[in-house]
Amino acid sequence: MDHNYADTVLDLHDIALLLNYERASTEPRFRHAKLREVASPGDFKTVRLLTPAWTEAGAIPRVGFIFDKPLKPTRAEKDEPDLPTNMLPASPSADLRKLTPKELETYFWQARNHDGCYRTVTLLQHFIDLFPEFTRVRVRTVENNTPRSYTTLANERLIVEMKLANPRSLSMSCVLPVNTTYITGGEPTMDHAVLGFSAPGSDIDTILDLSSLQFGDVGRGHKGRSLFVLEPVSQYLDRLNKYAERHNYYQAKISIRINDALDNEWLKEVALRTKLRWHNRVTDPWCGHCGAPSRGEPLKRCSKCQNAYYCNGDHQHAAWTFHKHFCNEPKAKNRLSLKTPSS
Ligand SMILES: [Zn+2]
Ligand SMILES: [Zn+2]
């Protein structure tokens, strides 16, 4: 969070953290669902699935998830956000207990990002629609270990819709007992939509892909750690080659606005909650890796800049490769030194 910009400039990286957290923690398709089983690469043990996309996808890397979603959440569950850390059932199987926190985090996001690209593009549109017309946004990226930052109009973002041919992996989530199945990479071609940003006067130079984790760990952002992608186009093109055998980025459809996506009313609520959290950013900070607010215990503070917060050491570690490029001296101290004449 950069308090220098106060209310006038949105920080795209921070907004992305908040939008993703508010979206994933309340996703209707997986609300209150607990992970029952992960199948990779073999078949499920607890259910027999006959979905052809799954049974016939022997050749490419595949991972499948079975979730149990309560038909009616208990009162205690109702307001509880869904998180990677509470995705396991009360008595997990031995296989589930072996999963690392990072694996749980990947699977959590992989499931919530099925068909996620149009939802996330629409969500950002709803969010920006809540601000005045000439609201500016600060875009921060790191390329070849060099940080870059520019400010542009939020309304000048573009929607980039492309085709990916022969996805390199398949993932499937099956939600019981309703038995709804979501698949990523099950067709020879898939649509993928992301957001494009550009410094004033130039072509699209930066991509924001909020549903990148649908492709698993290759969709992790900066240095393979973060939970969304915000990076220069050149890096994003390399990434597309990991998603699929071919892409048509250079023939992508570019547009200014998009029609409402599935779950539109819920996405509007997510946008409103995100706006409130952005507004309260000084009093209620969030984790610089996962976007979580403090829940009971205060978040840990970056000891160098005092201006970034984290749930725990793991999340601080995950965010550090990006944050270190923007971890400046404490702002309060700078101001103090301006007032105090050096003797
Ligand atoms: Zn966190
Ligand atoms: Zn810092």
| Complex ipTM value | 0.99
Please give the Cα distance from 290 to 110 (Å, whole number). 15
Residues 94-148 have pLDDT tens digits of 999 999 999 999 999 999 999 999 999 999 999 999 999 999 999 999 999 999 9
Q: 3-state DSSP helix/strand/coil percent for the chain, to nearest 5?
A: 35, 25, 40
H-type alpha helices, the chain: 12-24, 52-55, 75-78, 94-97, 101-112, 116-129, 222-225, 233-243, 264-279, 313-323, 331-339
Looking at residue 5, its pLDDT comes to 43
pLDDT digits (tens, 9 = 90+) for 141-182: 999 999 999 999 999 999 999 999 999 999 999 999 999 999
**Is the model's pLDDT at 23 over the cut of 70?**
yes
Is residue 343 predicted with pLDDT exceeding 90?
no
Please say if the pLDDT value at position 328 is more than 70.
Answer: yes
pLDDT given for residue 73 in this prediction: 86
pLDDT at 3: 43
- Residues 176, 181, 186: CA angle, nearest 5 degrees: 155
What's the confidence (pLDDT) of residue 58?
67
Q: Which residues contact 149 (CB under 8 A, 6 or more apart)?
A: 138, 139, 140, 141, 326
Question: Ligand 2 mean position to 223 CA, how many Å?
Answer: 18
Taking the centre of ligand 1 as the mean of its atom positions, its distance from the CA of residue 275, in whole angstroms, is 19
Q: Nearest bound ligand to CA 301?
A: 2
Distance of alpha carbon 136 from alpha carbon 36, whole angstroms: 44
Arithmetic mean of pLDDT, 26-36: 97
Q: What is the distance in A from the centroid of ligand 1 to the CA of 311?
A: 4
Query: What is the tens place of the pLDDT at every residue in 262-313?
Result: 899 999 999 999 999 999 999 999 999 999 999 888 999 999 999 999 999 9
Query: What is the b/e burial string over 128-146, where b = at least 16 CB atoms within 10 angstroms of the residue's CB?
Result: beebeeeeebbbbbbeeee
Query: For residue range 62-90, what is the model confidence (pLDDT) as tens digits?
Result: 999 999 999 888 888 888 999 999 999 99
Q: How far apart, in whole angstroms, are the C-alpha atoms of residue 293 and residue 315?
A: 13
- Which one of the ligands is nearest to 325 CA? 2
Other Cβ atoms less than 10 A from the Cβ of 253: the count is 12
Q: How many angstroms separate the alpha carbon of residue 237 from the centre of ligand 1? A: 28
pLDDT class for 334, splitting at 50, 70, 90? very low
Confirm if 145 and 171 have CB atoms less than 8 A apart: no
Low-confidence winner among 45-59, 101-115, 231-245, 250-264 (lowest mean pLDDT): 45-59
Average pLDDT, the chain: 91
**What's the rounded Cα separation, in Å, for the pair 206 and 233?**
5
Confidence of residue 337 (pLDDT cuts 50, 70, 90): very low
pLDDT for residue 224 is more than 70: yes
CA 229 → CA 12, 15, 45, 299, distances in Å?
11, 13, 34, 24
Report the relative pairing of strands 180-184 and 170-176 from DSSP bridges: antiparallel
Q: How far is the CA of 284 from the centre of ligand 1 (A)?
A: 14
How much distance in Å is there from the Cα of 289 to the middle of ligand 1? Answer: 5
28-32, 49-53, 282-286: range with lowest mean pLDDT: 49-53
Query: What's the gap in Å between 165 CA and the centre of ligand 1?
Result: 34
Distance 324 CA to ligand 2 centre (A): 6
Other CB atoms closer than 10 Å to residue 27's CB: what's the count?
A: 20
pLDDT for 331: 55
Residue type (1 letter), 231: E
Q: In what order do the strands lie in the sheet with 146-153?
A: 9-11, 136-143, 146-153
CA of residue 174 to ligand 1 center, whole Å: 27
